[in-house]
């Protein structure tokens, strides 16, 4: 089941997994299976055309990814989503590439002990949107 509440619980679950604390305002989406969060997204720093997206997951479903695309593009009206990951987190970099993200830069010492890699996913490149379900997109 895809849920957006309770926001604080989802944000805490994602934050604990990636080593950050989120402060409002933010919104969330999560995939819950048998009462347990298995994937969560936190959306913050919305700037009309862009939103920062933080993700933690045990596994990702196509249903969740389509929900994320609908939320970012159709509800928030964004053309892009921005994500950061640790430069030493190869698994996250692989997932971001699978989701259509392109690396845009590097932020030195962003995580204190490690650089961050900055990624963008444009709505035109997101594999679970636009034409994934026909001409109307996801």
For the chain, the structural domain boundaries read 2-122
pLDDT in tens, 95-137: 888 888 899 999 999 888 999 999 999 988 887 765 555 444 4
pLDDT given for residue 137 in this prediction? 43
Q: What is the layout of strands, in order, in the sheet containing 80-86?
A: 2-3, 27-33, 36-44, 50-57, 80-86, 116-122, 102-107
- Residue found by looking up tokens 């997994």 in the block: 17
Higher-pLDDT residue of 123 and 138 is: 123
38 contacts 59 by C-beta, under 8 angstroms: yes
CA distance 72 to 28: 11
Higher-pLDDT residue of 138 and 115 is: 115
- Residue found by looking up tokens 């929900």 in the block: 67
CA distance 63 to 2: 8
Report the topology of domain 2-122: Aminopeptidase (3.40.630)
pLDDT in tens, 29-48: 999 999 999 999 999 999 98
pLDDT given for residue 120 in this prediction? 94
């Amino acid at each position: 089941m895809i849920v957006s509440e309770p926001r604080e619980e989802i944000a805490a679950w994602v934050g604990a997994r990636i080593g950050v604390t989120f402060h409002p305002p933010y919104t969330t989406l999560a995939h819950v299976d048998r009462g347990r969060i298995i994937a969560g997204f936190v959306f913050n720093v919305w700037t009309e055309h862009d939103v920062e997206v933080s993700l933690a997951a045990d596994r990702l479903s196509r249903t969740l990814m389509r929900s994320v695309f609908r939320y970012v593009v159709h509800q928030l009206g964004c053309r892009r989503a921005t994500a950061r990951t640790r430069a030493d987190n190869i698994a996250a970099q692989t997932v971001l590439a699978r989701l259509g993200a392109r690396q845009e830069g590097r932020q030195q010492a962003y995580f204190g002990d490690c650089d961050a890699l900055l990624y963008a996913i444009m709505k035109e490149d997101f594999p679970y949107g636009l034409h994934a379900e026909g001409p109307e997109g996801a």
